[in-house]
Chain A
Amino acid sequence: DGGITQSPKYLFRKEGQNVTLSCEQNLNHDAMYWYRQDPGQGLRLIYYSQIVNDFQKGDIAEGYSVSREKKESFPLTVTSAQKNPTAFYLCASTTSTGAWGNTIYFGEGSWLTVV
């Protein structure tokens, strides 16, 4: 089935550790996104990529890094510089570089907790 796969679903991070969240899509979408969602809150954009080997910072990029080496994959690394990383992370994609006019498809999300 086509879709977006995020892994792991639950992840625990110790203080000072970097962790990487995986996002893979088989929808042949050009654009991919990472959002952060805190409890009871909306979505905040972390990073987005419109094409392979290119990505842009969103509203809250500090403490995060991404790569886009393949069209299908857009992993997010939460670095130790991110002081409050506990949140629900959502990966998304859309058919073209103009997300404003297209449906965005989401993965099932990853819960990250700092222990």
Chain B
Amino acid sequence: SQQGEEDPQALSIQEGENATMNCSYKTSINNLQWYRQNSGRGLVHLILIRSNEREKHSGRLRVTLDTSKKSSSLLITASRAADTASYFCATGISGYSTLTFGKGTMLLVSP
């Protein structure tokens, strides 16, 4: 069963704007990861945030994690057309050998 649910399913913005995607999950986790997928390609890891962390930054990416609300958000600042892709959250639970992926948010950044 899928653990993470991204919201919105699709997001369309202009270059230079910020993009925010949310992920909600159902059970307690040990970490949450965000991945990016360009159309027809494999997924690429963006960032991992552990359950004892509240915020993490990587370049133009900012991820927050609220374990009390079982939710995470991914913020991309100053979006570029090259950021156009699908973004997936994946949850990890200690002892499990796999991650569980959500259905993704499709981001379109127009020049």
Contact = CB atoms under 8 A, between A and B. Distances in A.
Interface residues of A, number: 30
Interface stretch (B36-44, B60-68, B70-78): B36-44
A101 interface: yes
A56 B97 contact: yes
Given A42-B2, A42-B104, A43-B88, A99 B98 contact: yes
Nearest to A100: B92
Interface in A76-115: 88, 90, 92, 97-101, 103-109, 111
Given A42-B102, A98-B97, A108-B41, A103 B33 contact: yes
B94 A109 contact: no
By size class, the interface of chain B is 20 to 34
B48 A50 contact: no
A7 B26 CA distance: 36
A46 B75 CA distance: 31
Contacts of A42: 2, 88, 101-104
Contacts of B93: 100
Interface string B20-43: 000000000011010100001111
Nearest to B95: A100
Contacts of B54: none
Interface string A42-72: 1101001010000010110000000000000
A10 to B, nearest CB: 10
B101 A100 contact: no
Contacts of B2: 42
B30 to A, nearest CB: 6
A22 B30 CA distance: 32
Interface of A: 4, 31, 33, 35, 40-43, 45, 48, 50, 56, 58-59, 88, 90, 92, 97-101, 103-109, 111
17 contacts: A41-B103, A42-B103, A43-B88, A43-B101, A98-B97, A99-B98, A100-B30, A100-B31, A100-B93, A100-B95, A100-B97, A101-B92, A104-B33, A104-B43, A104-B45, A107-B42, A109-B41
